[in-house]
Amino acid sequence: MLRATFTTTPYLNMIKPLSGGFFDDEAKPIQPCMVDRPGLCLLCDYDETEDAEENLLCMMNRWDQRNDEVFVCGKFEKKK
């Protein structure tokens, strides 16, 4: 999968979790700034959006597919 170098920029504007962090199914912490951004996200209008909730959902989607060969996103919208 084509992946971008991670950046912390999108995660500065993300909903802060009430539980003190993000955790996977095995209760291991997830560092949002370490979740790779697939190439598709770099072409997407939602990437680095001002919407904190949207940034959270994008991060979760990326994390969920981190080991998949192909990244798929039903919300993708080409940058204008």
Where do contacts with ligand SF4 occur on this chain (CB under 6 A)? 40-41, 44, 46-47, 58, 61-62, 73, 75-76
Asked if 44 contacts 78 with a C-beta cutoff of 8 angstroms, the reply is yes
Q: CB of residue 43 vs ligand SF4: minimum separation in angstroms?
A: 8
Of the pair 24, 77, the CB lying nearest ligand SF4 is at 77
Q: CB of residue 36 vs ligand SF4: minimum separation in angstroms?
A: 11
